[in-house]
Structure formats: structure tokens, C-alpha cells
Structure 1
Amino acid sequence: MKAHPLAMITADEIRAARRILSTAGHLGEHVRFAYLGPEEPAKADLLAYSPGDLVDRRLRVLLLDRATGQSHDTIVSVTRGVVDSFEPIDPVSAGQPPILVEEFEAVQRIVDADEAWGKALARRGLTPETVRACPLSAGHYDHPEESGRRIVRSFGFHQDHEHDHPWAHPVDGLVAYVDLIAGTVLRVIDEELTEIPREAGNFDDPAYTGPHRTSLRPIEITQPEGPSFTVEDGVVHWENWTLRLGFNVREGLTLHQISFRDRDQGRDRMIVHRASIAEMVVPYADPSPVRFWQNYFDQGEYLFGRFTSSLEQGCDCLGEIHYTDVVMADESGEPQTIANAICMHEEDYGVLWKHSDLFTGSNETRRQRRLVISFFTTVGNYDYGFYWYLYLDGTLACECKATGMLFTSAYPAGGREYAGHVAPGLAAPFHQHLFSARLDMAVDGHTNAVDEVDVVSVPIGEDNPYGNAFTRRFTRLATEDQAARMADPVAGRTWRISNPQVTNRLGQPVAYTLVPEGRPALLADPASSIAARAAFATRHLWVTRHADDERYPAGELINQHRGGAGLPAWTAAGRDLDGEDIVVWHTFGLTHFPRPEDWPIMPVEHAGFTLRPVGFFDRTPTLDVPSSSAAHCHDE
């Protein structure tokens, strides 16, 4: 095939993979596609690729037999029409494939038919017909009866009518453990009888919200001459930036081969080989018998890419918009298209630089602009928007916008120690949203190194008699075991990623600096199950030697895995990092203590990080940015 090795999956390729697997005898009435995504070529092959080269397009497929629970990890070449590998998955040692939407839907029928669940609801004056099952991933807690079984745990939420948001009415103190293969309830825990909150949470019902305000006047963002960027065959050009778009059902949006055209040097300079959000975890803080297990990996367990929203102009994106559709496989292995999945547009971002000079009378202002590449996904009650920002000055940033509805519990008269009181009788447990950015760095090439940079006060002494001095301390993170680090806002801690083989005109190694927000990492006890399973979230920074098969920070199969996979396993080798091909992993996110203002709909919370050039350029790379036109800015 002549398609680029990183081109997005097509509907024809998905159909071909299904046909190849069927011909090989690997499909059947009960076999489902738990995952289908691109098997990206080895990095060395990508770097050696030239346009026109033949490409072996391969897909990775996880198959699950819903009748037996047996699953297989397969690699299919749609170019050669063969199954390259077909390996059984041991659920005890390796974990389970991601949970199917079909399985989530089945849980309602399973609990509705269970006698113990029905009795627990009757004790609360409810019937199964009015209670929505909310199944969630089970985690791993060494329960012997769950070993090797495919398990979810389900809460219940009362729904008054078809359009009533059930998140407002948690049936608290009750949870069912469900065997998805057997189609039965293993166990019902009926721990506490609490009053079901009655206040509605119907944020989309004018009868609840009241009339909409009429004082907001329209804002129109126009580009009469069209946008400044181009997109062709997945390759984006904007100002000096070039990159390739990617998408898969697990990570969602991915960015590849990000480079910046240095006009002073007359060449395109690589910055990042591949960038993605490679995992996220949402750990909850309620230790009660019905909620202690509540934590989920929205990517590894649920595949949040499959819940990608179709974006709408004027609602999700403003301005001159370019949309990209994505194709993924449904659980029967048939292609489905999500229209307008990726949004791309330009934004004005205020002043880029400005100076009014005392001596020369010069008065110059330039405006900053950024290219925004984004997608939104809805996973249950929460909605997440992921935004990658490219700026005129060579800065690259990522932001998550978290919104949606709170995951709720009841708030009894005695209160909840580990939950916020958000409405009468209604609580929402404390929790975190922690994301792992995987940044396969290539700062002017693939030989990079990382220094931790702290600000340091200098005590009064012979060289600092008046005590005004301060400086920086650089610590080279030379091996993987040294490079598992925490942010330190008090020290202004950043991490500088440099290329020791390339220097700027001042003789300094060219570099980009990772600027963290420095919010809390995982707050669960180090001995907890979630700390073992989400070990990546216990540190703000990890650095590893590049390896093609090290893609996901918590390991390949997260669902019901006992933990220890991914970053802690890889970094135990303590491989050298200094001047090597490295991957930087950054944990960022939110610690959420829910407040009344988050109910019934949560205004966006922001979390992210920034990559800034530090000595990468020989001078300001925006000297050639023109001043705004006379129609928008008075220019004397």
C-alpha cells in the first residue's frame, strides 16, 4: 500500500481485518472486537520511510468471546491479508480486555433479574424499572471468587421519568458485583439505608433552570480570507509548524512528527516525534464498603476514544473551523464514522510582544495567535476536552477541559467525611482526574537528555554580601530510576529536555522545557491497590529509553490487572538516558473537592502543561510577525 505509515485507519481496512480474521476461523457468533487500532510501525522504520515506499498496514485487534470469556491478542496485516499473530490472553496474569459497551448495556438486565438486588431496592421503596444500573470497572482486590472472571460493579440511580437525569438520585449504600460472562450477580452489598435525594438535576430543562438570560450579545469570529493553516492527507501546516494528525480508539487524538521551521537556519527542526494522552485514572476517596473500589482508567478500561463527540460549529468551536472525521470499529468489527471528531481552528491569544521605547520613540505591538487542535469525549457522567495548542513563538501546550455531571452519593444527616455536600441530601465523593502525557521527544534530533531545574536562594556571604542573589540548580536525570520525579512549585521546578549534540549560537545545547502545573499526584496510600495499578500517577515525571512496545504507562491490559505493569516495570531496569532516544511521561490533572457550584452541571475545570523553547532558537522567532491591519489596530 502507498498510504503513509501513520495514516488514520480507513473503513476499508477495518472491513479487511474482519474478513481476514473470519477467513482464519477466529470469529464466531459470540466473538466481539474489544479493541481495534493501528499497530504503528517501529520508530526506526518510520524514520527510514520515504514517500512512495510500500507500507505494511497492520492492525491490532483484541477479541473477546462473550460466551466463554476467552480473549485473544491479534495482529492483522491488511496489506498482506494474513493474521501475523493470534495469542490467548491469560486473564489472571495479564488482565482483561477493555469492557464492551454491549457488556455495560447487559448489566441492566442482569441486575434487574437478580432477587437480592430486587429485595434491596424494595427495602428503599423502589422497583428495578425505575433504577438505572451504572456499571463500572471492578479494579483488582484479590477476591478469590473473582480470579479469572470478567467482573464489573454496579451502582443504582433512580430515574423519575424518561428525561430525568438519574445522577441526581443515587441509590446509596448498595452495589452489585456482576459476572459478565455468566450473566449473573455474584454478590450484593446492601450496607446502608439512606434517603434518596429528591431534587432534580435537569440542567437541560427550562422548567428547572428558569428562562435563559437575554443580555448576551453575539460574538462573531471571522477570517474573511480563510484560515492560515492547511490540512492535506492528515498533514497540518500552520505558520512554521508541521505535524501529522493521528487517532485511535484508546488514546483518541495523537500528534506525530511535530516540527518547526527555523527561518534563521532555513530548516525544519523536530521537537516531538509523537505526543498523546496515553492514560488517565479517576480514583475516588470514599473508603466505605460500597465505594472503596471506585476508580477507573477511562482509556485502558473503557477506550475513551470510542465515545468521541461529533463537534458542532458555534457550540464546541468558534471561527473558521476545519473538521476531521475518524473511523473506528464497532464491537462486531464493522466500521463506524464519527463526523467532526477533531476540530482545528486559530485563536487570537492577546499580546505576543510589545514595547514603547523611551529613547527611540519606537512603539510596537504584535499579537499572539495559536492553532488549536481538539477533540471531546464523554465517558459516563464526565466530558473531557483535550486541546493541543501551537503558538507563533514555538511554544507547545496541552490542556484538558473537564466538565459534565458529578458522580453522586447521598448526603445523610450526619454528613460524609469524604464527600462534598452539593445539593440538599446530595453529595459527590472527593476524587482526582490524573492524566499521563506521553511525549516521545526529538529536540532537534533523537539524542536527548533531561535536567531538573530548580530555583535556589543564595545565602548572604562573601559573594552575596547583601543577600539579593538567587540562581538555578541543574540536576541531570541520567538513568530511569533517577528520573521518577515530583514537581515542586516552591522551587519553580521544571524539566529541561535538551540535545547535547546540537548547540545554539551561544554554545548552549538546544532545549525545550516542560513546565508543569505542579498539582497533587495520586493521593491514595502507596500500599493501596490503586497505587499499584496506577503507579504512573504517583510521580509527575518519568523518563524512559524509547522502546516500541512501551506505549501505555499502566501497561497493555488495565482491566482487572493487579498492577505493577508499565512505567514501574520498565524503569526498574535503570537504563541510561543521557544523550539517548527518550520518552518523557508527565502526570498532570485535577483534585476535585465538589462544591455546590458544580451541581447540576460542572463548569469546565482546566489542567495541563507547557513545552517552551529554551535556547532552541538563536533569537526571538517572532520578529517577522506583522503588526495587525489598520482595520483592527491603529498603526502610526
Structure 2
Amino acid sequence: MSTPHPLDPLTAAELSAGRALLADAGLVPDSVRFPQVVPLEPGKADVRAGAGTRRIRYTLLDTATGESGEAVVDVTKGEVGWAGWSTDPGQPSYLFEEYELAEQLTKAAAGWQAAMARRGLGDRIDHAFCAPLAPGHFGREDESGRVLRSLTFLREDDGDSPWAHPVEGLIVHLDLTRQEVLRVEDEGDVPVPAEHGRYTGVPARTTQRPIEITQPDGPSFAVDGTEVTWEGWRLRVGFNSREGLTLHQVSFQDRPVLYRASVPEMVVPYGDVAPGRFWISYFDAGEYQFGKNGNDLRLGCDCVGEIRYFPAWVADDHGEPVEIPRAICLHEEDDGILWKHTDLAGTPEVRRSRRLVVSSISTIGNYDYGHYWYLHLDGSIEFEAKATGIVFCGAGTPGQDQPHATELAPGLFAPVHQHLFCARLDVEVDGERTSLHEVDVVGVPTGPDNPYGNAFTWRSTPLRTESEAQRHADPAHARVWEVRSADRVNRLGKPTAYQLVPRPSATLMARPEASVHARATFATRHLWATPYRDDERYPAGERPNAHPGGAGLPAWTAADRDLVDADLVLWHVFGPTHVPRPEDWPVMPVDKSGFLFRPNGFCDRNPALDLPAGDHCDH
């Protein structure tokens, strides 16, 4: 097979070769499945030297015993590394086939059938949808190992959207390894909401006229394999089954900015105390996987304009390669004005901005998540998460106020919840050696230094250790976090730098006593920083599924390592805290969140002075 770049996504040939090597080693009997298959990227020195072999990290699950383990396959050398079955307290992410198994077990359970009959729903079993949901971790004696919970929703037919008809208070607890029902909870007699939740088939409005986006000479970017160049930017596009979209070796004006950027985790904790929801706290990357659930994007809908798509290959439950033909969309789009001034003679000068967009979308259950990386002409990098899809609902008494859920339709209640993303930014601002500072804008006390009371200034505080770098955003002081180069200064003698600019958002709302607080400690701060280690990849640890907590960032940063002139990794938490609205039903308009990573003294002046005025300007 041809040799890809060391950071390229896995190919179909590599996935097939890796599985064959595992089979030859006797590690793939009929009962073994592959919950997660990801590339194991070479070390930075090897990548820069153009060396490094192509390796794949396989998570193996023996469905007959519930045991799991990790194997590393070097497909370049044809070697297999196997450390045996793991005793990690967490579980690997779920298999697609386990979703089907969960529904089969649920519908075959006498307790579930009896609960449906008691509620007068016995004749609606055929079209019922039994949602497979991660159980969290609550230390229950009968919930060790590989377990799921299942909630029931009704449909009029198999093509109907089920989320409008929750069967409240019916919870089925499943052991996937033993393939048995642990118990059935049947609490309450709340009627199933009757109003449908269909969101298609609505007569289309006729008032819109076409908007055509054309680039008759083609786009301004160039693509060579996975390497993209555009308007001073250079980067590599990546994709894996867990994180989905990744960016690598991002540089601006031939100077490094980021070695790697991704969103390796998101937790979705619910704030409802009802029996069917108090335990919900999905880890959408670690339990379900962004990449494995990636969409095949549609031209003219998911992306508009002159599009370049990148395919991606992921492994299915049996380790076989599956293609997502259009997993990543690359295009450029107009972004308003970049700069403008009208001089004293009344002569205006204006330059329009455009941005390069690298995006992917994943559908996980009822929600859809768009990941959008924007590269701007002024040297800024922006990330935007777009949450849409269908809000998760329970049932209640119509017209009754609930403290933890809002009524979206008669008797249909959507609980409060959060979507807390964590971005991992392996920064490389003019080199590996950087330092981290917190910059606040502060008022100056009235007195000799502020005789008129109007003065304010900025305060820069070095964050020298991991404990000092555990920070919250502070919009009242315009707080930013600045990564400064240890090796390069600008023409004013100051270190070249980039600033992480957070957008206002809440951190984890759950109390410290809550199970999810221990499991998602990363979400209790807006910022963490660590020195780079190639085995520190996921902020909630390798296996958040059913993990009791403490893994990932809280475990790593307990060492309180030095961050001065270090190879830094920033971990930034952001995302919406969602108090659902009637306007979010039956399908939710996009809820946007994200952050900005912008230059501060990295360039000596505005890097977009050379933009052409453009033929569209009226002279």
C-alpha cells in the first residue's frame, strides 16, 4: 500500500491489514468486537523528521465474558502489541450492535411487557422505540460490568419520530454481557403525550428567493492529500472514530500556531431528579464516539459553495473498514467586512473578509452536533459547535409547572441540561516552548494614579503550574488567556503570542456530591493547562463509560507540573446550558457556542492590508 503522511487518517487498507494481523495473532475469535479503533500518532520528533510508522490502537471487547483490552498494531512493520485484558474500571464505548441487543432484550422482558399492558399500551409494542442510554456510575451492586439503561418511546410506525411520545417512569436495566434484564422500574401513571413530533411535511413558504453562491474561478484554497493551504494558512485535516474532525500542524505565514486541535470530549449532564433522568450524563465522545457517528454530508445543505470533501474510514463493530464518503467539508465563505475607514476627505476604503471553513457533523441519538473550524484572514482561528436535533423529553401533567423541565407541547417536558465541550489545543506559537498568562482588564482606584476616576488598565498574571492554570472565565474583566513564545519577539521587543478568548458560558452545574461531578471534573473549569504528554488525550480519561471518576485532567494535574517555557496543551471547556423553549420543538434551531484563538503581537501589523478592494465595491 502507498505510504500516507504520519498524521493522515486511517485508510481502508490499513484497517483491513490491522485486523488481519490481530486475527493472525489469535485475538479475534467470534465473540470479540471492536468498540474503538483509532490511529496512534507518531511522536512529534518523528513527524517533523518525516518518519514514524503507521500504528493503530484497537480496543477489543470479548462480548462473551465482558473482558476488554488494548492492542497496538504497527501496520508498517506488521507487528502486534498486546498487553492482555484490562482491569480499567471504565468500559469501552458502546457497539452499534449493542443498541439492537438492548431493544431485543427490553421487548422480550416480561416485566416490560407487563408495564406496557398495565398502562394500556400493549397493542403499541411493535412500533415502540427502546432508547439505549449510558447508565453513568452509581455503585449499584447489580450494575457492574457492561450495562445499559433503556427508556421507552412510542411511534405510530417505524418511520415516525419517537421523541414526542415518552413512556414516563418505565426504565429497564440491562446487562449486555449476560444478555439479561437486571430489573424493570415502573413508576407512575402519567399519560403518554399524544401530539406528534413530526418536523417534515410542513407546507414550505414561498417568499424566499434564491441566494446563489458562486466562485467562477474556483476556490482560493489548494489541497494536496490532507494538506490544505489558503491565504497564508497551512494545515493538515484529520479524522478518527472517537474525536471525529482534527486539525494538525496549523501555521500562519509559515510560522507554527497549533500542533494539533480537536474536541476530544463532551458531557451532557441533565438537571432533572425524575427516576428516568437523574442518572443521565452522556459522554458523547468516550461513550458513543463523534467520528463513528459522523454524517455523510450533503452538497447544498450541510455545506454551500465550492466544496472539497474528504472521506474518512472508520472500523465497524467487527473491525472492518466502513467509509464515510463526505465526512469533512472544506469551503470558503464571505464573512462581512474585515476592515474599513472613511478618511477626512470622505474617501472610504473597505476590504471584505472571508473565512476558510473545515467542518463535520455527528448524529448521536436525538442530537446532532456540527464541529466548525474557521480560519480568518487576520490570523485568527475560531471554533464553533452547533447543537441541533431533537431535545430529549419526558412526560408530565399538562399545564403543570416543573422545577427542572419546561413544557414544550401538552404534557411533554424537556429537562434542563448542559452540553459541555472540551477542546484540546496543543499550542505551538512560534515553537514548542511557550508560557501561559491570564490577562484581565481592571479598574484603577481613584487617587494619584487615577485622579479623574476614569482610568483602567490590564493585568497580566503568569500561570506557572497546573494548579495555577485551573481557571474560570470572567467576562466582567474581559479575561483572556495568552500563550507567549519563549523563543521569538516581535519588532516591539515583546514575545509573540496568541490569545484564547472564551465566550461566556457556564461550567458544570452539578454539585460536588453528584456522581457526574467526579466523572466530568474537567467540566468544572473553563481552562486547564498541562505539559504535553502523548498519552494524555481525553479530559475524562480513556474510558469514561461507567467509570467512577477521577480520571483524565484531575489525575494528571495532581502532579502540579511546571508550565513555564513548556510544550503546552490547553484544555478549554465551553458550551450551552440549555433551558429548553417551546421554539426548540419539534426540531431545535442551531444553538452555537465556541471560542476564538487570535494573534496578539504575533504579527507586526494588520496582516490583511494587502487584500484587494474587489470588483464588487462601488467606486
- The TM-score, its normalising length taken from structure 2, stands at 0.98
For 2:347 and 2:474, how far apart are their aligned partners in 1?
Answer: 40
Shift of 1:560: 0.7
For 2:312 and 2:449, how far apart are their aligned partners in 1?
Answer: 61
- Per the alignment, in what secondary structure is the counterpart of residue 454 of structure 1? strand
For 2:158 and 2:56, how far apart are their aligned partners in 1?
Answer: 40
For 1:125 and 1:108, how far apart are their aligned partners in 2?
Answer: 20
User: Could you say which residue in structure 2 is the equivalent of 1:633?
Assistant: 617
Shift of 1:489: 1.0
For 2:77 and 2:159, how far apart are their aligned partners in 1?
Answer: 50
- Per the alignment, in what secondary structure is the counterpart of residue 433 of structure 2? coil
Shift of 1:416: 2.3
For 1:70 and 1:239, how far apart are their aligned partners in 2?
Answer: 50
Q: Is the contact between residue 191 and residue 290 of structure 1 (CA under 8 Å) also seen in structure 2?
A: no
Shift of 1:527: 1.9
For 1:387 and 1:429, how far apart are their aligned partners in 2?
Answer: 27
Q: Is the contact between residue 308 and residue 378 of structure 1 (CA under 8 Å) also seen in structure 2?
A: yes
| Equivalent pairs, count | 615
Q: Return the letter of the residue paired with 1:41.
A: P
User: Could you say which residue in structure 2 is the equivalent of 1:243?
Assistant: 235
Q: Is the contact between residue 286 and residue 292 of structure 1 (CA under 8 Å) also seen in structure 2?
A: yes
Which of 155-164 and 550-559 deviates more? 155-164
User: Could you say which residue in structure 1 is the equivalent of 2:278?
Assistant: 292
Map Cα deviations across residues 300-327 of structure 1 (whole Å, 9 max, x no partner).
Answer: 0011211111111111111111111111
User: Could you say which residue in structure 2 is the equivalent of 1:258?
Assistant: 250
Q: Return the letter of the residue paired with 1:573.
A: A
Map Cα deviations across residues 596-620 of structure 1 (whole Å, 9 max, x no partner).
Answer: 0000010000000000111111111
Aligned match for 2:62, one of 49, 61, 65: 65
Q: CA RMSD in A?
A: 1.1
Shift of 1:7: 1.4
Aligned match for 1:338, one of 314, 324, 328: 324
Which of 320-329 and 407-416 deviates more? 407-416
Whether 2:196 is the aligned partner of 1:212: answer no
Q: Is the contact between residue 189 and residue 290 of structure 1 (CA under 8 Å) also seen in structure 2?
A: no
For 1:446 and 1:14, how far apart are their aligned partners in 2?
Answer: 32
User: Could you say which residue in structure 2 is the equivalent of 1:108?
Assistant: 103
For 2:180 and 2:550, how far apart are their aligned partners in 1?
Answer: 30
User: Could you say which residue in structure 2 is the equivalent of 1:23?
Assistant: 24
Whether 2:77 is the aligned partner of 1:77: answer no
User: Could you say which residue in structure 1 is the equivalent of 2:395?
Assistant: 410
User: Could you say which residue in structure 1 is the equivalent of 2:34?
Assistant: 33
Where do residues 143-542 of structure 1 align in structure 2 (5 Å cutoff)? Answer: 143-147=140-144, 149-204=145-200, 206=201, 209=202, 211-261=203-253, 268-358=254-344, 362-413=347-398, 414-542=400-528
For 2:516 and 2:297, how far apart are their aligned partners in 1?
Answer: 33
For 2:3 and 2:580, how far apart are their aligned partners in 1?
Answer: 51
For 1:336 and 1:493, how far apart are their aligned partners in 2?
Answer: 44
- Per the alignment, in what secondary structure is the counterpart of residue 288 of structure 2? coil
- Per the alignment, in what secondary structure is the counterpart of residue 424 of structure 2? strand
For 2:504 and 2:142, how far apart are their aligned partners in 1?
Answer: 41
Map Cα deviations across residues 554-601 of structure 1 (whole Å, 9 max, x no partner).
Answer: 000111111100000111101010111010000000000111000001
Unaligned runs of 5+ in 1: 262-267
For 1:475 and 1:518, how far apart are their aligned partners in 2?
Answer: 21
For 2:409 and 2:561, how far apart are their aligned partners in 1?
Answer: 52
For 1:240 and 1:316, how far apart are their aligned partners in 2?
Answer: 26
Map Cα deviations across residues 9-56 of structure 1 (whole Å, 9 max, x no partner).
Answer: 111101101110000000011111111110011223223x23xx4x41
For 1:578 and 1:193, how far apart are their aligned partners in 2?
Answer: 60
Which of 227-236 and 492-501 deviates more? 492-501
- Per the alignment, in what secondary structure is the counterpart of residue 12 of structure 1? helix
Map Cα deviations across residues 508-528 of structure 1 (whole Å, 9 max, x no partner).
Answer: 111101000121010000121
For 2:115 and 2:43, how far apart are their aligned partners in 1?
Answer: 53
Q: Return the letter of the residue paired with 2:510.
A: A
User: Could you say which residue in structure 1 is the equivalent of 2:551?
Assistant: 565
For 1:560 and 1:227, how far apart are their aligned partners in 2?
Answer: 46
Identity %: 53
User: Could you say which residue in structure 1 is the equivalent of 2:587?
Assistant: 601
For 2:118 and 2:334, how far apart are their aligned partners in 1?
Answer: 58
Q: Return the letter of the residue paired with 2:25.
A: A
Q: Return the letter of the residue paired with 1:399.
A: E
- Per the alignment, in what secondary structure is the counterpart of residue 20 of structure 2? helix
Shift of 1:363: 2.3
For 2:310 and 2:15, how far apart are their aligned partners in 1?
Answer: 18
- Per the alignment, in what secondary structure is the counterpart of residue 113 of structure 2? helix
For 2:239 and 2:89, how far apart are their aligned partners in 1?
Answer: 25
For 1:164 and 1:288, how far apart are their aligned partners in 2?
Answer: 26
For 2:394 and 2:160, how far apart are their aligned partners in 1?
Answer: 17
Whether 2:53 is the aligned partner of 1:56: answer yes
For 1:60 and 1:575, how far apart are their aligned partners in 2?
Answer: 28
For 1:462 and 1:487, how far apart are their aligned partners in 2?
Answer: 31
Shift of 1:362: 4.3
- The TM-score, its normalising length taken from structure 1, stands at 0.95
Q: Is the contact between residue 127 and residue 158 of structure 2 (CA under 8 Å) also seen in structure 1?
A: no
Unaligned runs of 5+ in 2: none
Shift of 1:293: 0.6
For 2:184 and 2:401, how far apart are their aligned partners in 1?
Answer: 24
Runs of 4+ in 1 over 4 A off after TM superposition: none
Map Cα deviations across residues 175-225 of structure 1 (whole Å, 9 max, x no partner).
Answer: 111000111110111122101000001101x2xx3x111111111100000
User: Could you say which residue in structure 2 is the equivalent of 1:265?
Assistant: none
Q: Return the letter of the residue paired with 2:285.
A: Q
Map Cα deviations across residues 111-168 of structure 1 (whole Å, 9 max, x no partner).
Answer: 1111111111111111332321001111111112222x21011100011223221100
Whether 2:135 is the aligned partner of 1:135: answer no
User: Could you say which residue in structure 2 is the equivalent of 1:264?
Assistant: none
Shift of 1:3: 2.4
Q: Is the contact between residue 75 and residue 86 of structure 1 (CA under 8 Å) also seen in structure 2?
A: no
- Per the alignment, in what secondary structure is the counterpart of residue 296 of structure 1? strand
Aligned match for 1:119, one of 109, 114, 120: 114
Q: Return the letter of the residue paired with 2:429.
A: V
Shift of 1:288: 2.0
Shift of 1:289: 2.5
Q: Is the contact between residue 545 and residue 580 of structure 1 (CA under 8 Å) also seen in structure 2?
A: yes
Q: Return the letter of the residue paired with 1:234.
A: T
- Per the alignment, in what secondary structure is the counterpart of residue 518 of structure 1? coil
Q: Return the letter of the residue paired with 1:595.
A: R
- Per the alignment, in what secondary structure is the counterpart of residue 172 of structure 1? strand
For 2:605 and 2:324, how far apart are their aligned partners in 1?
Answer: 43
- Per the alignment, in what secondary structure is the counterpart of residue 371 of structure 1? strand
User: Could you say which residue in structure 2 is the equivalent of 1:623?
Assistant: 609
Whether 2:598 is the aligned partner of 1:612: answer yes
Q: Return the letter of the residue paired with 1:342.
A: I
